[in-house]
Chains A and B, each alone.
Chain A
Amino acid sequence: MKSSKLWLVLVLALSFMLVLAACGDNNEEAGGNNDNNNEENNDNNNDSDSTERGTITAAMYSAPGHQFNPLFYSDAYEANILDFTHEALAKLDENLDWEPSLAESWDINDDFTEITFTLNEGVTWHDGEPFTADDVVFTYNVLMDEDYVAAGGVRTNYVADLETVEAIDPLTVKFTYTDTNINAIFDAAFIIVPEHIFGDVPILEMPDYSASRNAGEVIGTGPFQLTNMLEGERYELTAYDDYWQGAPGLAGITWRVIEQSIMPGLLENGEIDMIAEPNGVPAADFDTVDALEHITTYVTQDFGYQYMGFKLHHRTTEDVEAGVIDPDNWIENEKIADVRVRQAIVYAINRQALVDGLLHGMGTVLNANFPEASWAFDESAVNPYDYSPETAEELLDEAGYVDVTGDGFREDPDGNEWTLNFDYPTGNAVRERSAPIIVENLEEVGIRVDLRNPREAGPHFDLVEEDDHDWDMYLAGWSLSAADPDPSALWLSTAPYNYTRWNDPVSDELIRAGIQAPEAFDQDYRKQAYSDWAAHMSEQVPQVFLYSSDNIYAYNSAIQNVKHYPAGIYSDAHLWTLEQ
């Protein structure tokens, strides 16, 4: 049995938990295609210069989902690779403003309908081909193609208002929008993929194409190349010496997939050099890690958050199969249709206790889609829903959910048994622990909950997307973009990411008001619009906001030039060097 490599891989893959969302923008957690298990050889082919430049080892707690095409990747673990291998036209700086990346500069016209980028000269892909405006046009044309969603793509929000993208000359590219676009740079800052690799591949086959999946064939413009991987265990990034901003200071970065709880120990004895996305060091271990002399820590608030979603509506089976999001066909979930029930559930959950107990205080209770670090955050707009089992019981009584059989659990207004099904994923240890505690809280106010066995994150989020019909409540989290608070991609009723299937015209209207030109050029106007929306959401409770945890990054102090940006520490990785 010991010889069974497969067994080991399986145990690792299954027991190591998954989760937390990807970066980029509003990404779902995990997911991705795990069906293709072609193992890569893991011969170490480090160049001879690796003795001069150092190699560092970084750790993440779940394996990437094996999709290294930026157009289709879905989890935060794949992002850990892509952040080093690929680039976009612009990126966020330390003030969360846009700074040039692949583009040297840009120019927006007066009515904000056109943005023209001038690209950097001398940028080459990992295979030596030059990077041109055609690659940008190709990338955005794929996003706009009607086959893109059918192929599994979810990043359509980047092209929602896009009319055309055209290459004026090899180094100039112009985006034209149908309407005034207040987020033009954000929308144009999607990761660029090479046309000469994917140009002839039908979009439906792109996710399974070898250049989307295999180490050595993944081509980007970034400072590192994915050269080797042992599926589910280690992913080796090697420096791309012809990188346009100069050869990277490190010979390579090796990602290892390691159980979260043992990371701090490995960091201490030097087996790993960096713990970063997602979530970083477990909050419980922060004091231990922070006390280590050779380790630098950096704490920043996560822009994402964890939540308990209500499945307010379910899509029909036909719609799920056809990949259609049409609110008109949705079936309402009667069990949680009463808004008082949902409000009662928020009151019943002691969220501050979750933060204090499970996160050791390193996080905040959240009541809106905007974290404290965002300018759209407005504490006064929302109901704080402070823990109050008494209020919860009053609301439930008022809604007619009372215990008529005397078994300690409430029945629905018709006197029928009322059980809420509750699903949660493995992976994120804190989230896993929170599930039984939430159930305990809910049972205290007489709500019968069927806590079902946890699933791996991949299958869990597949079922969330597919609107499994007996789901009522589920745990999940979002990683949100630090760039702009616009919630359209998550909360418009027609958005694929609207997992709760919340169908509320008022909400849709308020979300659209937030990006309504020309008023939306005024940040105060937008802030007010988002406060109104947050207030409406707070009253309707389509989901229970749980907490936003602090991101605790930790790395070996021998790594020099790491930038501490609010959006993370991966910026300008080509400048990183290892002090010998």
Chain B
Amino acid sequence: MESNAHRNIDPNPELSDQQPEKSLSPFQLAMRRFLRNKLAIVGIFILIFFVLIAIFADVIATHSPTASNMYKVEAKADSENWLGTDSSGRDNFSRLVHGSRISLTIGFFAMLFTVVIGVTLGSLAGYYGGKVDGFIMRITDLMLILPFLLLVLTIIAILEKINITIFITIIAFTSWPTLTRLIRATFLSLKEKEYILGARSIGASDFRIIFKHFLPNAVGPIIVNATLMMATMIIIESALSFIGFGIPQPTPTWGNMITEGNSLRMLQNNWEAWLPPGLAILLTVLAINFIGDGLRDAFDPKSNQ
């Protein structure tokens, strides 16, 4: 497939490589529109802030996030533990900082995997139609009728051994159908366009048509949905960790930090333990949603901003 595609592309390198480049100017227009959206810019700054924290977690954290101090359990904030300690005597601040790493990693990679699966299957279904479409769409329907959380909980319960890679794979494996349908729908609407017919009539390969003509025109919806999906992934991680099905202790994630707050005593007396991770989740998800909304407006051709 790969080599075949190359052979087909090679004969006219100038034509094939130059033309899509020029047609990207709507993309630049979209970027210009996006940069004018103030909320989206705020979102970008917040996200960059958390990404920086995640990258430099080792430098910022004051303690090891997994080290327990049994003589200082559920402590209030002081000069040594800036946000107090949790019920196992671990430093909340360091866990919050390191938790950003896990939450963002899971959010980003789960999103990436989902996009890869979704775009691949969606393209195939939308482009080829017929039996391929029917087959892929039936699997999609099958996945969609299963309640998402039930499915995830069942898979996690069966697998038993959960680490970050497996966790990301599970989430991606269960959340691709929506994106697949979206890509398929976009492809179906593009299918009747003249330039597709043109490409087809000059004998371009399927591979080339998909990559050079369909995907660049579908990139708007893909980016917007991918961004919003990343926010969803972070929420899912937190939710699963909260009910004890996420990344197991002692690995710090924002979700399992919030679990501390499920006892009334902690809720009333130790806000340091659960409020900061809650805020961190809120801010990150909000920021990503702002960015996603900004992107949607930017890619909307009818937008007159």
Chain B residue numbers with a CB within 8 Å of A358 are: 70, 73, 87-88
CA distance A15 to B244 in the complex (A): 6
Indicate if the CB atoms of B70 and A261 lie closer than 8 Å. no
**Complex interface residues of chain B between 245 and 260 (CB less than 8 A to chain A):** 245, 248-250
Interface window among A100-108, A348-356, A510-518:
A348-356
Question: Contacts A15-B243, A356-B71, A436-B68: A7 and B88 contacting too (C-beta < 8 A)?
Answer: no
B264: contacting residue among A14, A265, A454, CB under 8 A:
A265
B66 interface hit (Cβ, 8 Å): yes
Indicate if the CB atoms of B70 and A11 lie closer than 8 Å. no
Indicate if the CB atoms of A262 and B263 lie closer than 8 Å. yes
Question: Contacts A350-B70, A440-B67: A284 and B88 contacting too (C-beta < 8 A)?
Answer: no
Kindly name the residue among B149, B161, B264 whose own CB sees the greatest number of chain A CB atoms within 10 A: B264
B265 interface hit (Cβ, 8 Å): yes
Across the interface, name the chain B residue whose C-beta is closest to A430. Answer: B87
| A-B CB proximity, top 8 nearest | A357-B70, A353-B70, A261-B263, A265-B264, A436-B250, A357-B73, A15-B243, A15-B244
Question: Contacts A14-B157, A356-B70, A357-B71: A436 and B264 contacting too (C-beta < 8 A)?
Answer: no
CA distance A390 to B96 in the complex (A): 33
Indicate if the CB atoms of A264 and B70 lie closer than 8 Å. no
Indicate if the CB atoms of B71 and A453 lie closer than 8 Å. no
B160 interface hit (Cβ, 8 Å): yes
B148: contacting residue among A1, A6, A10, A433, CB under 8 A:
A1
Chain A residue numbers with a CB within 8 Å of B153 are: 10-11, 14
CB distance from A47 to the nearest CB of B (A): 35
Chain A residue numbers with a CB within 8 Å of B249 are: 432-433, 435-436
B162 interface hit (Cβ, 8 Å): yes
CA distance A426 to B70 in the complex (A): 20
CA distance A432 to B162 in the complex (A): 16
Chain A residue numbers with a CB within 8 Å of B157 are: 14
B147 interface hit (Cβ, 8 Å): yes
A339 interface hit (Cβ, 8 Å): no
Chain A residue numbers with a CB within 8 Å of B87 are: 284, 358, 433
Per-residue CB proximity of A1-41 to B under 8 Å, as 1/0? Answer: 10010110011001100000000000000000000000000
28 contacts between A and B (CB under 8 A): A1-B147, A4-B150, A6-B150, A7-B147, A10-B153, A11-B153, A11-B243, A261-B262, A261-B264, A261-B266, A262-B262, A262-B264, A264-B263, A264-B264, A265-B264, A284-B87, A285-B265, A357-B70, A357-B73, A357-B88, A358-B70, A432-B249, A435-B249, A437-B88, A440-B68, A452-B161, A453-B160, A453-B161
B297 interface hit (Cβ, 8 Å): no
Chain B residue numbers with a CB within 8 Å of A14 are: 153, 157, 244-245
Question: Contacts A1-B147, A452-B161: A436 and B88 contacting too (C-beta < 8 A)?
Answer: yes
Indicate if the CB atoms of B248 and A453 lie closer than 8 Å. yes
**Complex interface residues of chain A between 133 and 178 (CB less than 8 A to chain B):** none
B74 interface hit (Cβ, 8 Å): yes
A523 interface hit (Cβ, 8 Å): no
Chain B residue numbers with a CB within 8 Å of A572 are: none
A positions within 8 Å CB-CB of B: 1, 4, 6-7, 10-11, 14-15, 259, 261-262, 264-265, 268, 282, 284-285, 288, 350, 353-354, 356-358, 360, 426, 432-433, 435-437, 440, 452-455
Chain A residue numbers with a CB within 8 Å of B147 are: 1, 4, 7
Chain B residue numbers with a CB within 8 Å of A284 are: 74, 87, 263, 265
Across the interface, name the chain B residue whose C-beta is closest to A360. Answer: B73
Indicate if the CB atoms of B68 and A1 lie closer than 8 Å. no
CB distance from B172 to the nearest CB of A (A): 20
Across the interface, name the chain A residue whose C-beta is closest to B150. Answer: A7
CB distance from A450 to the nearest CB of B (A): 10
**Complex interface residues of chain B between 115 and 136 (CB less than 8 A to chain A):** none
Kindly name the residue among A6, A11, A350 whose own CB sees the greatest number of chain B CB atoms within 10 A: A11
The binding surface of chain A is classed by DSSP as helix
Question: Contacts A4-B147, A353-B70: A454 and B248 contacting too (C-beta < 8 A)?
Answer: yes
CA distance A7 to B161 in the complex (A): 22
**Complex interface residues of chain B between 46 and 71 (CB less than 8 A to chain A):** 66-71
Across the interface, name the chain A residue whose C-beta is closest to B159. Answer: A453
CA distance A282 to B244 in the complex (A): 19
B276 interface hit (Cβ, 8 Å): no
Chain B residue numbers with a CB within 8 Å of A435 are: 249
B220 interface hit (Cβ, 8 Å): no
CA distance A210 to B87 in the complex (A): 43
Indicate if the CB atoms of B243 and A440 lie closer than 8 Å. no
Chain B residue numbers with a CB within 8 Å of A264 are: 263-265
Across the interface, name the chain A residue whose C-beta is closest to B244. Answer: A15
CA distance A360 to B73 in the complex (A): 9
Indicate if the CB atoms of A453 and B73 lie closer than 8 Å. no
Chain A residue numbers with a CB within 8 Å of B162 are: 453
CA distance A285 to B67 in the complex (A): 24
Across the interface, name the chain A residue whose C-beta is closest to B261. Answer: A261
CA distance A124 to B97 in the complex (A): 65
Q: Beyond the given A7-B150, A437-B88, could you list 20 further A-B residue pairs with CB under 8 A, ordered by the A residue number?
A: A1-B150, A11-B153, A262-B263, A264-B264, A282-B263, A353-B70, A353-B71, A356-B70, A357-B70, A358-B70, A360-B73, A433-B87, A435-B249, A436-B66, A436-B249, A436-B250, A440-B68, A452-B160, A453-B248, A455-B160
CB distance from B90 to the nearest CB of A (A): 9
Chain A residue numbers with a CB within 8 Å of B150 are: 1, 4, 6-7, 10
CA distance A11 to B154 in the complex (A): 10
CA distance A268 to B265 in the complex (A): 12
Chain A residue numbers with a CB within 8 Å of B161 are: 452-453
Across the interface, name the chain A residue whose C-beta is closest to B262. Answer: A261
CA distance A331 to B68 in the complex (A): 36
CA distance A452 to B87 in the complex (A): 21
B89 interface hit (Cβ, 8 Å): yes
CA distance A1 to B151 in the complex (A): 11
Chain B residue numbers with a CB within 8 Å of A261 are: 262-264, 266
Across the interface, name the chain B residue whose C-beta is closest to A285. Answer: B265
CA distance A437 to B90 in the complex (A): 10
Chain B residue numbers with a CB within 8 Å of A4 are: 147, 150
CA distance A264 to B264 in the complex (A): 7
Chain B residue numbers with a CB within 8 Å of A288 are: 265
Chain B residue numbers with a CB within 8 Å of A7 are: 147, 149-150
Indicate if the CB atoms of B243 and A357 lie closer than 8 Å. no
Kindly name the residue among A6, A261, A265, A354 whose own CB sees the greatest number of chain B CB atoms within 10 A: A261
CA distance A452 to B264 in the complex (A): 29
CA distance A14 to B161 in the complex (A): 16
CB distance from A3 to the nearest CB of B (A): 9
CA distance A498 to B272 in the complex (A): 44
CA distance A284 to B264 in the complex (A): 11
Chain A residue numbers with a CB within 8 Å of B250 are: 436, 440
Across the interface, name the chain B residue whose C-beta is closest to A353. Answer: B70
CA distance A285 to B262 in the complex (A): 13
Chain B residue numbers with a CB within 8 Å of A426 are: 244
CA distance A432 to B260 in the complex (A): 13
CA distance A132 to B153 in the complex (A): 50
Chain A residue numbers with a CB within 8 Å of B263 are: 261-262, 264, 282, 284-285
**Complex interface residues of chain B between 131 and 174 (CB less than 8 A to chain A):** 147-150, 153, 157, 160-162
Chain B residue numbers with a CB within 8 Å of A357 are: 68-71, 73, 88-89
Chain A residue numbers with a CB within 8 Å of B148 are: 1
Chain B residue numbers with a CB within 8 Å of A436 are: 66, 68, 88, 249-250
CA distance A350 to B148 in the complex (A): 42
Chain A residue numbers with a CB within 8 Å of B73 are: 357-358, 360
Kindly name the residue among B68, B147, B150 whose own CB sees the greatest number of chain A CB atoms within 10 A: B68
Question: Contacts A14-B157, A15-B244, A453-B161: A1 and B149 contacting too (C-beta < 8 A)?
Answer: yes
Kindly name the residue among A354, A435, A437 whose own CB sees the greatest number of chain B CB atoms within 10 A: A437
CA distance A486 to B250 in the complex (A): 38
CB distance from A361 to the nearest CB of B (A): 11
Across the interface, name the chain B residue whose C-beta is closest to A357. Answer: B70
